């Protein structure tokens, strides 16, 4: 008999098969992920978790009998039945299951209709965001590599004391001391001890020999320094071009009175998608939230999504605010700028001209990408809004889409942020 400890064997033997399964279930799984994210509370969008997919896409069919025909079963636990008793057929499938008519008891789990898959946050997001790419990041990154930064590049013999490479210096010193046989201080101490002992024992010959030895050691120690200037090394830095892969995303939302809860909800979802998307794809991304009524305010994420406000609508105020923030904090030389705006399209009369000017002369030239999402009530037959017309007249203008139901958000999002080479039209 052998007892073998297999616990240390590499685990995760099923991982390749699990991945095959996820690939196989890919289409239904992506669909399920999208549906789930549409019905989930915003904050949980990025959390992964269990999704339910219909078993149809991934079932393993086999020949087995269905519910037709005669079925018979022997069951335990008879209480009152006598031979020849008649029992009404259980109605439905759920409650009367125990009566065991035997129907539908085919093998192979043919009865399952849905299948639960637990996805990690990573898997969830990568299914969620498949094929999406922030537009133009690539291009701008290449064109803006002229900013330079300092990068470590080996050691140098000269430099400022602040850059002293201590461990390297000490290593050099140590090897030099060993090569030149500089006496160690412990050796000297040992000799001193031996000398003292010899003197106590009045062993003059030994004492004399030791004195000479100590003398020569002393000379050597003084001649060979502990640290010599030739040991010293400094950390060397050289300038190198630093790619600007950092981006700032402005989320601008209209929270004025004309925006209904439904519209806000859609806008929120759009931004939430954006937010998840940015955090997933790019490490160095800052997000600025600006909400506006007739005046604009920069707020933190929580306030942006959760608190309420009422008032009129002046889009230009938000645009002005965005411009101000860009000037103050995000110089175009260092940042790629993306702007996404959600609004119901209502704007105060007379403000459209200001907005046009701000867009044409300010935001559009500065930004890589400007997405405008117009939200509306379902089945609304309102003709295109004044703001839509205003933006539509701009040349080049922002990427624009109009959504009326929650289910539309995701397709629109995908379309707006599709990989550049597939995109049919953007700015």
Partner 1 sequence: MSALLFEGADWSFETIQRIHDRVEEIALGELKLDVYPNQIEVITSEQMLDAYAGSGMPIYYGHWSFGKRFVQHEGHYRKGYTDLAYELVINSSPCISYVMEGNSALMQTLVIAHAAFGHNHFFKNNQLFRDWTDATGILDYLQFARTYIAHCEETYGERNVERLIDAAHALMSHGVHRSPRRRKMDFKTEQARAKERREHDEKVYNELWETLPGGAPKTPRTSPEEHLANLLELPQENILYFLEKTAPRLAPWQREVLRIVRLLAQYFHPQRQTKVMNEGVATYTHYKIMNRLHESGNITDGAFLEFLTSHTNVVFQPQFDDRRFSSINPYALGFAMMTDLERICVKPTDEDRDWFPELAGCNDPVNALKDIWAHYRDESFISQYLSPRVMRDWRMFHLVDDPAEPTLRVEAIHDERGYRRIRRAFAREYDVGHTDPQIEVVSVDLAGDRRLIVQHSVREGRLLASREASEVLGYLADLWGYPVLLREVDEHGNGLREHTAEPRGREPFQSGKP
For residues 73 to 102, the per-residue mask of contacts with partner 1, x marking binding by CB under 8 A and - elsewhere, is xxxxxxx-xxxxxxxxx--------xxxxx
Query: What is the spatial distance between Cα 37 and Cα 45, in angstroms, rounded to a whole number?
Result: 6
Q: Which of 216, 223, 227 is nearest to 188 (CA)?
A: 216
Nearer to partner 1, 4 or 333 (CB): 4
- We find the least distance from the C-beta atom of residue 94 to partner 1, in angstroms, to be 11
Give the DSSP letter of residue 379.
T
C-alpha torsion 271→370→402→384, nearest 10: 140
Nearer to partner 1, 83 or 381 (CB): 83
Query: What is the spatial distance between Cα 33 and Cα 52, in angstroms, rounded to a whole number?
Result: 9
Q: Tokens 């399920």: give the residue.
A: 32
- Is residue 383 involved in binding partner 1 (CB under 8 A)? no
Query: What is the spatial distance between Cα 211 and Cα 233, in angstroms, rounded to a whole number?
Result: 38
Angle formed by the axes of helices 204-223 and 185-200, to 10°? 160
- Is residue 124 involved in binding partner 1 (CB under 8 A)? no
Nearer to partner 1, 88 or 424 (CB): 88
Please check whether residue 150 is in contact with residue 159, taking contact to mean a CB–CB distance below 8 angstroms: no
CA 362-420-145 angle, 5° bins: 65
Query: What is the spatial distance between Cα 206 and Cα 198, in angstroms, rounded to a whole number?
Result: 6
Give the DSSP letter of residue 333.
T
Q: Which stretch binds partner 1 (CB under 8 A): 66-74, 239-247, 317-325, 352-360?
A: 66-74
- We find the least distance from the C-beta atom of residue 159 to partner 1, in angstroms, to be 53
Cβ neighbours of residue 284 closer than 8 Å, sequence gap 6 or more: 245, 246, 247
The secondary element (H helix, E strand) that includes residue 374 is strand 369-375
402 strand-pairing partners: 374
Q: Which stretch binds partner 1 (CB under 8 A): 114-122, 213-221, 318-326, 346-354?
A: 114-122
- We find the least distance from the C-beta atom of residue 147 to partner 1, in angstroms, to be 45
Among 32, 33, 36, 117, binds partner 1 (CB under 8 A): 117
Among 19, 185, 216, 279, binds partner 1 (CB under 8 A): 19
Per CB under 8 A, contacts with partner 1 among 287-326 are none
Nearer to partner 1, 69 or 383 (CB): 69
Among 43, 47, 49, 71, binds partner 1 (CB under 8 A): 71
Among 94, 116, 158, 162, binds partner 1 (CB under 8 A): 116
Q: Which stretch binds partner 1 (CB under 8 A): 72-80, 122-130, 207-215, 338-346?
A: 72-80
Instruction: Tell me which residues touch partner 1 (CB under 8 A).
Output: 1-7, 9, 11-14, 16-25, 50, 58-79, 81-89, 98-103, 105-108, 110, 115-118
């Amino acid at each position: 008999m052998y007892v073998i400890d297999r616990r240390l064997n590499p685990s995760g033997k099923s991982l390749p098969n699990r991945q095959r399964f996820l690939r196989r279930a890919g289409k239904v799984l992506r669909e399920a992920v999208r549906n789930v994210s549409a019905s989930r509370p915003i904050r949980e969008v990025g959390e992964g978790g269990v999704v339910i997919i219909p078993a149809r896409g991934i079932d393993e069919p086999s020949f087995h009998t269905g519910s037709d025909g005669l079925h018979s079963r022997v069951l335990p636990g008879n209480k009152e039945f006598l031979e020849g008793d008649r029992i009404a057929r259980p109605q439905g499938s759920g409650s009367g299951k125990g009566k065991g008519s035997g129907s539908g008891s085919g093998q192979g789990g043919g009865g399952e209709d849905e299948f639960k898959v637990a996805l990690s946050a990573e898997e969830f997001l990568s299914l969620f965001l498949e094929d999406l790419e922030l537009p133009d990041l690539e291009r701008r990154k290449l064109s803006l590599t002229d900013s330079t930064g300092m990068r470590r590049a080996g050691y140098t013999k000269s430099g400022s004391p602040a850059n002293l490479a201590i461990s390297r210096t000490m290593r050099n010193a140590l090897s030099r001391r060993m090569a030149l046989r500089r006496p160690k201080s412990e050796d000297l101490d040992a000799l001193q001890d031996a000398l003292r002992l010899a003197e106590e024992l009045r062993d003059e010959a030994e004492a004399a020999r030791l004195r000479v030895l100590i003398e020569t050691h002393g000379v050597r120690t003084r001649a060979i320094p502990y640290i010599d200037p030739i040991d010293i090394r400094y950390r060397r830095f050289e300038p190198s071009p630093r790619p600007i892969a950092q981006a700032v995303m402005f989320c601008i939302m209209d929270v004025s009175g004309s925006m209904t809860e439904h519209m806000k909800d859609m806008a929120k979802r759009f931004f939430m998608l954006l937010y998840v998307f940015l955090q997933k794809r790019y490490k160095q991304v800052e997000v600025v939230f600006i909400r506006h009524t007739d005046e604009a305010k920069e707020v933190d994420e929580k306030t942006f999504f959760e608190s309420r406000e009422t008032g009129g609508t002046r889009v230009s105020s938000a645009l002005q605010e965005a411009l101000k923030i860009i000037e103050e904090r995000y110089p175009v030389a260092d940042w790629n700028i993306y702007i996404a705006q959600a609004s119901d399209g209502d704007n105060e009369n007379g403000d459209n001209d200001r907005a046009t000017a701000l867009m044409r002369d300010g935001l559009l030239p500065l930004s890589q990408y400007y997405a405008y999402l117009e939200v509306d009530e379902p089945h609304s037959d309102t003709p295109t809004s004044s703001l839509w017309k205003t933006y539509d007249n701009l040349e080049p203008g922002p990427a624009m889409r109009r959504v009326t139901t929650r289910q539309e958000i995701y397709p629109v999002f995908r379309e707006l942020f599709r990989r550049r080479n597939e995109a049919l039209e953007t700015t």
